[in-house]
A = this chain, B = another copy of it.
Amino acid sequence: MANITKKRIAIIGAGPCGLSQLIAFKQAEKEQRIELICFERQAEWGGLWQYTALTGIDPCGELIHSSMYRHLWTNGPKEMLEYVDYPFEKHFGRAVSSYPPRAIMYDYIIGRATAADIHKFIRFRTAVRFVNFDVNTKQFHVTIQDLLNEKILEHLTFDHVIVATGHYTLPNVPNFEGISKFPGRVLHSHDYRGADEFVDKNILIIGGSYSAEDIGIQCYKFGARSITISYRSFPMNFKWPDNIKEVPMLIRMEGHTAYFKDGTSVDNIDCIILCTGYRHNHSYMAEPLRLYCSGNLFIPSNLYKGIFWSAELRLAYLGMQNQTYSLNMFDIQAALVRDVFLGYVKLPDDDDEKKREEDISQWQAREQVIAANDHEGFTDLQTDYIRDIVSCCDQNTVPKFDLERAKAGFYKFFNDKREDFITFRDQTFTSIFPPYNEAPPCQIKWTKNMDDSIEGYLSSIKTT
């Protein structure tokens, strides 16, 4: 009898969102109410936090998922993304600083997933090739491919599908006159693996957001000769070191010379790094279920509460928004998906698609009036968004943290960067949930810290 009523739920992707979702469902799985399968293209879990030196295509013929690079350290304070049920201190047995390196982040995320015993739900090296929905049977038809034996396709059915594939994998590549004939290296930040490849080079970075600022400062840290950052709309205007300068939009390349919108030019460019962001790619979803998202939006179209496919609430997309908040927001989204799919709560506009669309439109209207460089404005928006979805969840189980402290933390983070971009990672923050601990500092300044291994990093944190 129990078997007959089991809900079959597919999760696509075992990155941070997929793992949050698996953990959220774990409790229900104990009650034998669901059958859960998570499909993951990669050989390991952890999604974009995995590092590989490889670029381009992986051994299974799939696009390399990760955009991680050597010497990447978090670009926001860890306190603002910390899992409420699994603090860093619990995982490492000691407090860590506010800006740890990638290996620490990966170890932390995987540590929680391991503790939650969810590995068994994941089918690795399995790609979802097509998802369709039968409006009569209310079933999703999912075609998957075994990447270790490309001839094996399997057709499965599910009551629910949760898309957690991320949106930082398919590079957005604008066209610039002359760039295809540039007589040097051109790469997208997706394929950037370390500034040690650019020592003594003149680098042209195209972009004005997180990738551009971080790869720019990495190139400075590792000894590039000069870094020219070309922005589209407005400069980041940080207090850059002497060999970093910001210039307007690239108009064309001619040989090794870059020409910009303001009539200026820079000669002897050795390498162009396109920090021009990513595209959503959900081509494996049948047309009526496919999320199209032009650019990186805080409020994507068609997603009710930023999660549920408005036209068919049995389908959810996790973490599809541009993110100020990340891991802890995914946990709340995952809690709401669980609560709704298992019938613990009802969505406010459960039975009225028009009202759902109105709700989405209202949020979109808020986003549209925020200036593109108003980081505080977007933080306010996403804070309110989280407050909204928390209110929809089962209040007994939703993971909660202090949203006002979080917002204040982000404000401090933006200020730190504006005050001194070179030192912002040396600052410390206070946790946003009890007991509100203050992080210890790292004893090596970030610009001098060349050891991003777990061991090296932990040894640089003062234990009290």
Bound-state CA distance A435–B327 (Å) is: 72
Bound-state CA distance A430–B175 (Å) is: 43
Contact of A53 among B55, B186, B190 (CB under 8 A): B186
Contact of A183 among B56, B70, B173, B187 (CB under 8 A): B70
Given the contacts A194-B183, A287-B153, A173 and B57 also touching, CB distance less than 8 Å: yes
In the bound complex, residues from chain B placing their C-beta under 8 Å from that of A350 are: none
A184–B53 CB distance below 8 A: yes
B292–A151 CB distance below 8 A: yes
- A179, CB-defined interface residue at 8 Å: yes
- A236, CB-defined interface residue at 8 Å: no
Bound-state CA distance A196–B197 (Å) is: 14
Interface size class of A (residues with CB under 8 A): 35 or more
| Residue on B nearest A253 in the bound complex, by CB | B53
Most B Cβ at <10 Å: residue of A55, A63, A174 = A55
Contact of A56 among B56, B281, B283 (CB under 8 A): B56
A150–B52 CB distance below 8 A: no
- A297, CB-defined interface residue at 8 Å: no
Contact of A191 among B55, B179, B283 (CB under 8 A): B55
B171–A53 CB distance below 8 A: no
| Residue on B nearest A188 in the bound complex, by CB | B56
- A61, CB-defined interface residue at 8 Å: yes
- A182, CB-defined interface residue at 8 Å: yes
Bound-state CA distance A153–B59 (Å) is: 30
In the bound complex, residues from chain B placing their C-beta under 8 Å from that of A151 are: 292
Given the contacts A292-B150, A292-B151, A187 and B56 also touching, CB distance less than 8 Å: yes
